[in-house]
Amino acid sequence: VVEPVAAQGWNPPSDAQRCPSKWGAGDTRGSANHVKPATVLAAMRLVKTGQIIELGRVLEGTMPVFGTRRFDLHTKRTVINPGRNRRGTNEELVISEIGQVGTQFDAFPHQMIGGSFYNCVPIEGNESRTGFGTLGVEGVGALVARGVLIDVAALKGVPVLPDNYEITPQDLEQALARQKLTLEPGDAILIHTGWGTLWNVDNARYVKTCPGIGIAAAEWLSRQDPLLIGADNWPVEVGPNPDPDLSLPVHQVLLVVHGIHTLENLKLDVLAAERVQEFAFVVQPLKIKGGTGSTVAPIAIR
C-alpha cells in the first residue's frame, strides 16, 4: 500500500547555517570532489561483463518538457560541393534550453535560496547575458563512480509509484535492505519510481505531477554523502511538494544546501528489469560556459 505522507514543515537554512559548505569556503565543485583516481578504479572493478546500459533519453521534439522549455531541431542541408568528390554536408540548428531538457544534469547555478547559490555564491556579480559565472556546468568535469539503483517501485510491488507519492527515508532503507546493498560515500544514487514508463506515452501526465523523494529523504540521502542523486522523473523530487507553500524544495536541499548534483529524466527501465543494482556509472556534462546544467547521456557498465 502506498500513501503520500503528510506535508512537512521546512524552511531553507540561512547563509550562516549552510556556509561554508563541508567542502570548504570557496569550493565550487561540491559533490564532484568525490571523483578521484581511486574512486574511478573502484568503480571500474564493478565491471564484470562489459555490458553498457544507456540511461539517457533520445532528444526529440515530441519528448515531455517542463513548462515552456522546448527542443526544436531544424535540419540544415547544404549544397553539394562542386569538387570532384561531390562532398555534401548536413548539420542542424537546435533551439532549446539545452541544459534543462531531456536527461539533464543540474549544476549549481540552476537553483538558489533567495539570490544565493551553493556555498553562498551570490547571483549578483555572477550573472551576465552569456552565463552564470563561477559555478557554471563547464567546471563539473567527467564523473565516474559506483552507481547504485534504489528500486522503490519494486519495493512497493508496483510498476509505477502513484502520482505525487513522496518517497521517505524508510522507503530508501527498506529498498536497500531488500536489495542487500549499502551506500558508500561518492555513490551515484539512481532512484527507480517507474514514472519513466509515461515518457512519450502520456507526456501531459508525466510533467504534471510525479512520485519522487521528499525533503526528509533528500536530507537522509545527503547524509550518505553521494556524488549525485538521479531519478526517472522530471525533478527527482515529489512534484508538487505536499506542502503547497514549497516549490521544489529538494532542489534547494541537494544543489544549494549540500552541493549535490541531480540528474533528471533518466531511463532506468533496463536497470530495473534486469535487476542491475550496482554498476560503474559514467557521465560527462557538456562544457557549456556559465551553464545551469547540461543534457547528458549517462551510462551504466555492469
Chain positions contacting ligand UVW, by CB under 6 A: 66, 100, 104, 106, 110, 234-235, 248, 251, 264
* Selection from 126, 122, 125, 124 nearest residue 113 by Cα: 122
Closest approach of ligand UVW to the CB of residue 231, in Å: 11
Closest approach of ligand UVW to the CB of residue 67, in Å: 7
Helices (H), the chain: 15-18, 37-44, 152-156, 169-179, 203-208, 215-223, 249-251, 269-273
Cα first-last separation, the chain:
32
Closest approach of ligand UVW to the CB of residue 13, in Å: 20
Closest approach of ligand UVW to the CB of residue 253, in Å: 13
> Which residue in the shown chain puts its C-beta closest to ligand UVW?
66
Q: How many CB atoms lie within 10 A of CB 279?
A: 26
Residue closer to ligand UVW by CB (options 14, 200) is: 200
| E strand or H helix that includes residue 158 | none
Closest approach of ligand UVW to the CB of residue 74, in Å: 23
Residue closer to ligand UVW by CB (options 21, 292) is: 292
**Rounded CA separation 192/252 (Å):** 21
Closest approach of ligand UVW to the CB of residue 114, in Å: 17
Residue closer to ligand UVW by CB (options 66, 220) is: 66
Residue closer to ligand UVW by CB (options 117, 234) is: 234
Give the torsion through C-alpha atoms of 285, 248, 111, 223, to 10 deg.
Answer: -70
**Rounded CA separation 199/55 (Å):** 13
- Look at the block and give the residue holding cell 551506500: 183
Residue closer to ligand UVW by CB (options 101, 282) is: 101
SS3 for 61?
A: coil
Residue closer to ligand UVW by CB (options 173, 208) is: 208
